[in-house]
Structure 1
């Protein structure tokens, strides 16, 4: 079991990858100075561009991305585990991956995860999103082992699909994550309850960095980067949508304690379902 400090970096990413990397680097360094050894950035850390054509013109392969290169250099220099919530990465297929990276203390890429669930929706306020038009969905839930514990990787909209997090918890994840760029409308309604629910039902820490504020492309995101403990208590939150960071102490022994008190994972049973068409006899 480990006790360590974790940090969420909150950004307001714009169209310039280099500028976004510069802002993120400064905040990462401040979080490390505050004692964090696990530092997470939000979804689409490297760039937020609404126009598909403009996005395609700005991004490249993951290995060539200036944000990723910065992160690898800084992780090695500061001796921290750096979790990039996601970057927009151009694929050979001509579509884009919404790809998270976990960078070890040596600066090497330890794991990557492509967002599985695509946000295709028409909101009551007139906003319309079709992620599947631009992005290729991932196929695998990914976990990785860090010096302080096992981390499950997910991104934003994945948080609405509990099966991803339960599968990771079954595989021993002590820290679950959903770095995000939640819209303000959905964030105000559901952000806190979804984060706490995933923590409670799996008896795990939930750590989610977020984008916040009005972005260069006109979208507005909710912010409120937060961390919840395995009992569902919010232990740290940036209670606004401005760029910044928040640090909290994580005690992984609390995972075992929560799962002993509420053994939902071990009590889980397989079942089938059907639509009842009336009782032919009273069950014994």
Structure 2
């Protein structure tokens, strides 16, 4: 299986974001990718007030386009995440769409990014409600696909649950800040891949989105041994890598850390 991660610099210009996503998803499919992952909030990204203005329903323009292009290109598309409109607070929502253009899974981000980092306060929970469900999907070919978003990367329990439940690939759409990308991103992505013996397809945003709002890029595809199969430069682009599922099985057989877990001791 060939997978791709799309990296872009989204702003509040939804038409421009969609045009860039369309170009890069088509390029990834042209390069042979059958699974493509877009970044977090690819449809609209900016300051909280403007982000709320860019929120959409699940049948809005962003996901309508995503369903159409998945069917046209015959790919599994993890449509990153979009700010989903809600009554009081919205959700940060990722949808996996199959090659038939139909939704295969919907995941709402579990962990809210309420932190202070790089001299800036982030209060994601002010405008978004956390999800309450762990979501394991599957590609059209039947490969277990775990759904996560950005800050979820710092919570290994979620990734472990997905792996134990059957994930062999974990999709990670992200908008990691520039500061945390530089110091933590690669370490965390590789750690989640190694400890769960999964492929991780991590699609990050990159660059300046608004005054004081920058993300770090370096989108990655990592194998179950922690080897970086592909990594993006600091630009809007896509990366591709072949996912050797037989190698994954050999790793899990030869070094059976998942099978050797002691949940009766530590839960």
Shorter-normalised TM-score: what interval? over 0.9
Who is 1:74 aligned against? 69
Report the count of equivalent residues. 265
Residue 11 (structure 2) pairs with residue 14 (structure 1) = yes
Answer yes or no: is 1:41 the counterpart of 2:38.
yes
Alignment pair present for 1:219 and 2:216: no
- The normalised TM-score by structure 1 is 0.90
Name structure 2 gaps, 5 residues minimum.
Answer: none
Query: How many angstroms apart in 1 are the aligned matches of 2:183 and 2:69?
Result: 36
Q: CA RMSD in A?
A: 1.3
Partner SS for 1:241: coil
Tell me which residue corresponds to 1:281: none
Residue 257 of structure 1 is matched in structure 2 by 250
Q: Deviations over 1:25-63 (max 9, x none)?
A: 0111111111111011001111002132x2222323121
Deviation at 1:272, TM superposition (A): 5.2
Whether 2:53 is the aligned partner of 1:57: answer yes
2:101 corresponds, among 100, 104, 107, to: 107
d(CA) in 2 for partners of 1:25, 1:104:
16
Out of 160, 166, 187, the residue aligned to residue 166 of structure 1 is 160
CA distance, structure 1, for counterparts of residue 52 and residue 63 of structure 2 = 17
Match of 1:193 among 168, 187, 198: 187
Residue segments in structure 1 that go unaligned for 5+ positions in a row: 274-284
Deviations, residues 126-168 of structure 1 (Å, cap 9, x unaligned): 1110111111001111011113411000000001100111111
In 2, Cα distance between equivalents of 1:106 and 1:209: 23
CA radius of gyration, larger in: 1
Deviation of the 1:176 alpha carbon: 1.2
Partner SS for 1:30: helix
Distance 1:206 1:122, change over 3 A: same
Q: CA separation of 1:6/1:139 partners in 2, compared to 1, >3 Å: closer, same or farther?
A: same
Contact map agreement 1:48 1:217 (CA 8 A) in 2 = no
